Structure 1
């Protein structure tokens, strides 16, 4: 009998060793597929970052062509200079500008007042003139990019130039702009932040930019003399100069020379093209050392598991041999009994000290044991009771679900779970993960274990982290918005001032043009506020604001929009009404955003009602101030979306009709003023937004807020 047991153990060990060898073989065979997938992922990252950079360069090229279009239109040098000065002040990356005519003579030049002395030196003006003259030889709209301006430290400043065709009212010429290109290439920094990746960025003339890794730049300089030492890297540089895209695999030795560690490396590269201009080329070199370490870890874990299983099988074989001896049967039984008692005590201590709640149920459905984590939340009479008696504060439907879960696990003989569902187990609703674990049928006192994990705190932390990440992205988005909106706003404002100057203040249309300029200024202030959105700052221009004129001003401002949508906007403000303590522009922005959202939710023929009421404190510590409500009879908000409407970038509107920032900005402004905002909505019955706003101690006098 002993020989049979030993033979069985030996055969099991041989089978296990065969499995381990097979697993190692398949891991190594699939390593090439993992490397290919790794290369594909790196290529995708490079393409996404390069696409953002290309969009930024195309925006700069479009600005340059737009400047050429402005110069082609009729107008004096002073007018053209003022229009281009607005462009230079709005776009922070533009530092200087030169315009020449078709005879290569300078018409005028502009320098950014915020630029340092390195930009205003004479050498920069010479480079601008040379680039503008060189652009005259190219077709209109074709963008010329100069090498990095050596006179300015850092290596990021380049000159973009283009020619513009003559028109019937003006001669042609060329315009050149000194551009700080470092912000354009900022997305590339995100794909090479770790120590396992390196970045190589070749400029429009094939020379590495300051964003490139220092080791790669050094090898780039040594390629002509030592190309044989790094053939794959030399091939990569050649392909980048030719504007190709793809991936290159570098051997372990070549990767070590390039500072990527002792493992193969993958280089993903692609060009960054500017419409109508030259191209840059970017590449990331990433080591596969992590893949190799993962492979070794898997092999080590498999080998360790095989060793442990072999060890336990050997112990089992020895136990079989010993158990076959009748003389020591009683001693072995007593030893195992002591071992079981020790394990039972250890198990009880472990159960009492784990954070998850565990209770044991008998075959009859009675609770036979409860660990410490759950004992504190159940009634003292829980042990020996049924599930409904153990959870007296839980709704009947919740208890029925627990009972069904336990019965299903016992009948199916497998673990059944409820994953992260909102349940009111202890009176208040929370997030719980519940597992029903069936045990052997031999012990009717412990037939099934019910494990209760409270995920409420984890869920709350996850929600806070998601909101924090969304708020962090607002700062990044604000720079793009300022660039995209600021440039056309500056041009529109310049043209409006020009028209107002031509018409004169007494002209019948002069007041309308002045309103356009004021609204452009307000939008500009909104852009600046968006840039500061991620920092909680108190309002800077708080004073007493008369609510009635402000609400009627919003009604007048939205009159045309309401008529277009066939929606009626009513305002109900009783008199007298105390003044609100607010920044007038921010208060107007809050009411305007809420009213526009209400109009969007209404069908033709709907009504939006804006009302205000004075709230006097009914008891000590209660709220006192003004309550403003914006109510509509539109489509309403689904219940599952109510707790997300104030999150950044969340919107229930169709794609392209909303950014998801309106209510987020409203909530931020209300909190900054010491107020609060509440929302009540039912699908099909409309939505009501309530603002609780503090009032000032004194009357507002005759102050009126301009709309």
Structure 2
């Protein structure tokens, strides 16, 4: 208390007097009476105002809830009438009266809406023709005398809310919501929904805080539509002198006190008009119930006043003790503030205190010296500003975003932010925490940040080291396998150069087999890197599995049973069929090695709808074995190229890498699950094809029979002279005329002056234009000349296939090359046709 003497001053002043003078005692006696009375009066007045304010707030909220509920009810009737209007659009009244199906439809609507008593279709004569309750409609259902019929018959006044009237065939009061039936011209009857006022009394009973509270729904002419918690028992209309009607006339929008006309109870009322309807809702809080709480407070204040007056003898002691406690509290507060100040100012971490304004805006209140030194921004540049204004560029936007997230979620938010300060670039790991007041509102945000620049640099160095380690493993694996294959090639070819004629075919065949293994190895590497040129087609899984069954059996052993479980009505998939077969064979080979004592190899397929950022339809092909399984520490690395747990010479480590690359490049995914001792399951998820599978392609024999057997003029575009020489010799051996060009520019110059039956071009070419550019130019300027593109690897290979150009993958066998040449020209030209050169457009 401000009037007491601090202990230090009291000690300095010496001992206090033992007694008080007579004037002091008289003053104390008067204070013992006056102060409690003043306290009692002030407290009683404040309590009275507080109870009234709380009651006004309660009445306002209850009125809003009542208005919202009533509005939803009337809007629901509008929607219901519109649905009925749409349903009977174009039907004559005789059709409506005769339609039992319409009656059942109305009945279903009625049963789904407890608030609706009955739905009627009334013709222009006021005769009910169909309803949700009766079929056929009785002749007694005439409403020509009802207020809503008279009001809507004369003019199209929108939706009309009728006054409550007793039902003709059912007890109780009902009021109707009616609207004209849509007609091209004139009055063509009504659509009416009948509502039970008792519904509101039951549904909104929970709004009443005491038995004497009440709520009403009233038309603007004073007609009561519903009342609660006691339901409306008879038609009632308020007089113009009633408090509610007077409040409506004067446009009162604040609570007011009034004695109710209906039951004579004094209440605190609030009114609200329903937007779009001539209807008001009113909620009344019993004044007696409001004052009951105030009476309790009066008793409490009276008891307190008596206690204060009776405890005058202890006032001095209590005052001194309270003063001492206040001084001690102030000392502790100052000490706490000093500790907080030291912590905030001397903390090595960055600290930032932010004020949250009532409108949701934010402004920094405090910034510690550590953060000033880190950012290079002065306190004047930050204090009083929002994050976006205080910090430059993307940093401010990042801080603003995460502060907003913390403010919305009311939970700590962690993030990282990058910037540049006096010491150079930095990365800070920041945490912003909400500070809530007693009401649970976020009033401040405390941001802390620590420097993680070195940690992130070390992590980046570790990632680079891991990447280099993986690359080293990949390079060493490729070098090892290719050195082995090159040894086979060089050894056999060297032996063939010196061998007798009868041994040469065998040695050459050995070299060719090594070359074929090298070709498969590069294909697997491209598949893992998702750079392989796939030929997607629409595949029927059952047909592919039937064609692959024998190959799977050859990849397994006789003691391994093959089990197929393909769901019915499997979707077609979009993928490269041959690569899918290779993936299945690789999985079969792995399963075989995992089951040295035999077992079962199970293949299943089913349709799935995946949810990963959206809905994706896919077919899941699961391949399971009953082998030894894979340990957890190994499972995470099985898709790495050249990673294998098999003995040297028994596996390249590229089988699962091919499966992974094929799935990714096909737009799908793959996962693997394994349990040591129980087996492994690999699941391929391939996207569903957008169209059914095409008819089967003709066989190779049929294609060969349809091929064009004649001498061709071929333009071969290849920048590698040895490769060009091989192609030229193969074409010459097939009795074709060949012209070789080393660049796209040279080829275009030759095409300007000479005609050709076929252009064969490598994809990767020097000079700024590649083979795909040449093919596009050919399609535009010489569309009748077929083009065959060739590539060992190129980013443009996929684009070439998508644009419909024929593609041959290197390395290729001579027979495959000649077959592609034949495929390029077959079916395009009759054997006796000569293509005339089309002059380029100028």
TM class, shorter-chain normalised?
0.3 to 0.5
TM-score (norm. length: structure 2):
0.32
Larger Rg: 2
Q: Which has the higher contact order (CA 8 A, sep 6+)?
A: 1
More helix by share: 1
TM-score (norm. length: structure 1):
0.37
